């Protein structure tokens, strides 16, 4: 983990600037995330993608995670959240290929979602809720990242 962050820090400014030339929106979003201040940028998740850059985007980047691979990508730096997430119904449904929540569904690909936006994301998939849910913030009763059914916190 530490060496990884160091490696990322050492390469970050150069690669980030080059990606930004073509991906201004993704770059602006990524800069607004706490990741950026800690040296986590494009190459941490997509690789340095030299061939992609040289071919003006006509060759795929080194790494583009499909939905089911995102937990492994994020979990490489957030192992505790990944472990807990893998106990959830979300993880089971994701592996079954259904429309389920993975890390980036809830937190965003590049810019971090506010607490309010995060709650709105839950409500998009769970518009029908048992009466027991009431009106409080979801995570008051359903602890991240297991999000078990009746967990009282
Ligand atoms: C010379 C322009 C250029 C540069 C520089 C560039 N890209 Fe791209 N990139 C493109 C184009 C064109 C596409 C395909 C169209 C699109 O999705 O915008 C693309 C697509 C992508 C995608 C989506 C691929 C997919 O299959 O959905 C990712 C991820 C990506 N680029 C990452 C990067 C990263 C990371 C860097 C820096 C290391 C980078 N790009 C630098 C032009 C560029
Ligand atoms: C913390 C991980 C992470 C970082 C850092 C990151 N990305 Fe991504 N990016 C993702 C994920 C997850 C997706 C959606 C699935 C995929 O394509 O891997 C994505 C998707 C994309 C896409 C496809 C279209 C879109 O915008 O969703 C582009 C283009 C892209 N990233 C470019 C970049 C560039 C340029 C940077 C740096 C400025 C960057 N990404 C930094 C995780 C990251
Ligand atoms: C290369 C390592 C690395 C990768 C890959 C990575 N992260 Fe992070 N993440 C970090 C670091 C470092 C921090 C900052 C921790 C701190 O400030 O204490 C962080 C912080 C966060 C935070 C907390 C932000 C806050 O302060 O509220 C969230 C949420 C997060 N990451 C989600 C993700 C998601 C989702 C992915 C995958 C798309 C991902 N991370 C991939 C290293 C990484
Ligand atoms: C169903 C939505 C959801 C999914 C899926 C999800 N998270 Fe979270 N995550 C949350 C919520 C809610 C919080 C707590 C935010 C709060 O209470 O302010 C959180 C908090 C975090 C934090 C901040 C530190 C902490 O533990 O409070 C990190 C880092 C994080 N998540 C990473 C991840 C990673 C990595 C994955 C995938 C393995 C993931 N999350 C999947 C909803 C989700
Ligand atoms: C992209 C859609 C999606 C999003 C976003 C989403 N969920 Fe889910 N959720 C699912 C699916 C799919 C299941 C599994 C349903 C099943 O197994 O029948 C599920 C199951 C659950 C369960 C039941 C767990 C159990 O033990 O039965 C809870 C609680 C839950 N989600 C809470 C949340 C919360 C809180 C958030 C936001 C932080 C959230 N979900 C975001 C799709 C989503
Ligand atoms: C006051 C505590 C509390 C809050 C806040 C809460 N829930 Fe629940 N939730 C529960 C309990 C208790 C159950 C189990 C109810 C049952 O089994 O009948 C439950 C069950 C669920 C289920 C499983 C439903 C099923 O049919 O199996 C989902 C999905 C869910 N909640 C989503 C949410 C979402 C999304 C939010 C936020 C918008 C939320 N909950 C807020 C207590 C809460």
Q: 66-77 pLDDT, tens per residue?
A: 899 999 999 999
Q: Is the pLDDT of residue 6 over 70?
A: no
| Ligand 2 centre distance from Cα of residue 3 (Å) | 22
What pLDDT sits at residue 116? Answer: 92
Q: Is the pLDDT of residue 140 over 60?
A: yes
Residue with tokens 């297991």, as numbered in its chain: 146
Computed over every residue of the chain, the mean pLDDT equals: 90
Q: How confident is the model at residue 149 (pLDDT cuts 50, 70, 90)?
A: confident
pTM of the model: 0.94
Beta carbons within 10 angstroms of residue 84's beta carbon: 16
| Ligand 4 centre distance from Cα of residue 19 (Å) | 27
| Separation of alpha carbons 4 and 112, rounded Å | 21
Q: Is the pLDDT of residue 151 over 70?
A: no
The dihedral region occupied by 75, where left means phi > 0, alpha psi between -120 and 50, and beta the remainder, is: alpha
Percent of the chain surpassing pLDDT 90 = 80
Length of the chain in terms of residues written: 153
Ligand 1 atom 36, closest CA: 19
Q: Maximum CA pair distance of the chain? A: 55
Nearest ligand to the CA atom of 137: 6
Q: Give the relative orientation of helices 24-31 and 2-20 as an angle to the nearest 10 degrees.
A: 140
C-alpha dist (Å) from residue 102 to 72, 81, 88, 151:
10, 11, 10, 20
Q: How many helices (H) and strands (E) does the chain have?
A: 11, 0
What pLDDT sits at residue 15? Answer: 86
Q: Is the pLDDT of residue 8 over 60?
A: no
Ligand 1-lining residues (CB < 6 angstroms): 15, 18-19, 21-23, 42, 46, 48-49, 52-53, 56-57, 60-61, 64
* Of 151 and 78, more confident: 78
Q: In whole angstroms, what separates CA 118 from the centre of its chain?
A: 12
| Ligand 6 centre distance from Cα of residue 123 (Å) | 11
What pLDDT sits at residue 14? Answer: 77
């Amino acid at each position: 983990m530490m060496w990884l962050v160091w490696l990322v820090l050492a390469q970050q400014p150069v690669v980030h600037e080059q990606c930004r030339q073509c991906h201004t929106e993704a770059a602006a979003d990524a800069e607004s995330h706490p990741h950026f201040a800690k040296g986590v940028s494009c190459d941490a998740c997509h690789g340095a993608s030299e061939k992609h850059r040289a071919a003006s985007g006509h060759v795929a980047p080194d790494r583009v995670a499909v939905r089911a691979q995102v937990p492994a990508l994020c979990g490489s730096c957030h192992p505790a959240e990944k472990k807990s997430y893998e106990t959830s119904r979300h993880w089971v449904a994701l592996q079954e290929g259904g429309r389920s929540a993975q890390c980036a569904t809830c937190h965003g690909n590049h810019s971090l979602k506010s607490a309010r936006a995060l709650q709105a994301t839950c409500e998009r998939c769970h518009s029908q809720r048992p009466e027991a849910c009431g009106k409080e913030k979801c995570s008051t009763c359903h602890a991240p990242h297991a999000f078990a059914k009746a967990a009282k916190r």
